[in-house]
């Protein structure tokens, strides 16, 4: 079963509107979650690190005012794409790390396809 759940899986929105994507860790607490963006035929690019109870850490080149991240609980992080434009159309995916004594394993949400028209 899914360890990390992401919703919605697909969303179409009009240019200029905002879209919220949720990422939930199931059956475990994730103090840190990560948000990635993947354009067609490209790799996953880390956008930001979402920290529970504090501000997100954004990667260089990612606009923090455009991609709002909230990590209000240990099992939920949200990404809001504000004033979306067609160039924001992409596959957005979150991940959480399940920490173990020997190796940490990354689990991904199912991803969200955003289309801005």
* Residues paired with residue 24 on neighbouring β-strands, in sequence order: 5, 76
Residue 27 contacts by C-beta under 8 Å, 6 or more apart in sequence? 3
Task: Please state, in angstroms and rounded to a whole number, the distance separating the CA atoms of residues 83 and 100.
Answer: 39
Q: Is 29 in the site for another protein (CB under 8 A)?
A: no
Compare residues 18 and 42 and give the one whose CB is closer to another protein.
Answer: 42
DSSP code, position 18: -
C-alpha distances in angstroms, 32 versus 37, 70, 83, 92? 17, 11, 26, 17
CA 61: distance to chain centroid? 16
By CB under 8 A, how many residues form the interface with another protein? 24
Compare residues 42 and 73 and give the one whose CB is closer to another protein.
Answer: 42
Compare residues 6 and 77 and give the one whose CB is closer to another protein.
Answer: 6
- Residues from 44 through 63 that contact another protein (CB under 8 A): 44-46, 49
Cβ count within 10 A of residue 5: 17
- Residues from 54 through 113 that contact another protein (CB under 8 A): 91, 93, 95, 97, 103-111, 113
Compare residues 13 and 44 and give the one whose CB is closer to another protein.
Answer: 44
Closest distance to another protein from the beta carbon of 83 (Å): 26
Q: Site residues (CB under 8 A) for another protein?
A: 6, 32, 34, 36, 42-46, 49, 91, 93, 95, 97, 103-111, 113
């Amino acid at each position: 079963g899914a360890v990390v759940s992401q919703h919605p899986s697909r969303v179409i929105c009009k240019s200029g509107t905002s879209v919220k994507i949720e990422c939930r860790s199931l059956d475990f607490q994730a103090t840190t979650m990560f948000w990635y963006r993947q354009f067609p035929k490209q790799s996953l690019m880390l956008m930001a690190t979402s920290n529970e109870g504090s501000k997100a850490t954004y990667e260089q080149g990612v606009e923090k005012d455009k991609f709002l991240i909230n990590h209000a609980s240990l099992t939920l992080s949200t990404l809001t794409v504000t004033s979306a434009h067609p160039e924001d159309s992409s596959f957005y995916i979150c991940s959480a790390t399940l920490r173990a004594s020997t190796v940490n394993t990354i689990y991904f949400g199912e991803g969200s396809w955003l289309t801005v028209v």
